[in-house]
Amino acid sequence: MQALEGLEPKPSRQRLWDRHASPISILLLGGLLVATGLGLTGGQPSPPIMADFGAARLVVKTPTTIRNGEFFETDLTLTAQAPMADAVIAVSPALWHDMTVNTMIPAPAKESFEDGHFHFSYGPLAPGESVHVKIDGQINPPLFAGTSGEIAVFDGSRRIGAMPLRIKVLP
């Protein structure tokens, strides 16, 4: 059979990828799925971080890698190991920069800003007693790459200790 003028005959032998998706796109998609499965793109549960300050123990469970715009939950548990006249959890403003804090349950008895930290007072704690605080927030769009700061524990105005915290924010 003769081809029409201007048209070339169809090649009799085709390569496998001439009729299918490029193997490069399949490899890229597979790589993205593997990275997501390993938790490199955020959204994975983070292990609790614990700091023992002697007079008190602080356990923080919060995402350490999160995507921009996502809602998140932070759980703080402060346990007194010695009597505390006024258990105070303090957060540095740098940690919450470009974040919106929607709720904090239970609400503190007193809130203030002192010595460069947001202070949340929960009253007296006897040894072995705990206060569990749940904070719901959202990453604001301007926050890119991450943020870092500290969560400190005070007994009234006396600083007991602080835990550094870094949150990586992905696009």
The pLDDT of residue 139 is: 81
- The domain made up of 49-170 is a member of CATH 2.60.40.690: yes
The pLDDT of residue 16 is: 59
User: In this predicted model, which residue has the larger pLDDT, 42 or 139?
Assistant: 139
**Pairwise CA distance, residues 18 & 82, whole Å:** 73
The pLDDT of residue 137 is: 87
Please tell me the pTM assigned to this model.
0.72
pLDDT at 78 over 80: yes
Q: What does the pLDDT average to over 56-61?
A: 94
pLDDT at 120 over 90: yes
Q: What does the pLDDT average to over 28-37?
A: 81
The pLDDT of residue 26 is: 80
DSSP 125: B
The residues spanned by each domain of the chain are 15-41, 49-170
**Pairwise CA distance, residues 113 & 118, whole Å:** 5
Q: What does the pLDDT average to over 41-67?
A: 84
pLDDT at 17 over 60: no
User: In this predicted model, which residue has the larger pLDDT, 115 or 5?
Assistant: 115
CA nearest neighbour of 48 among 39, 61, 58: 61
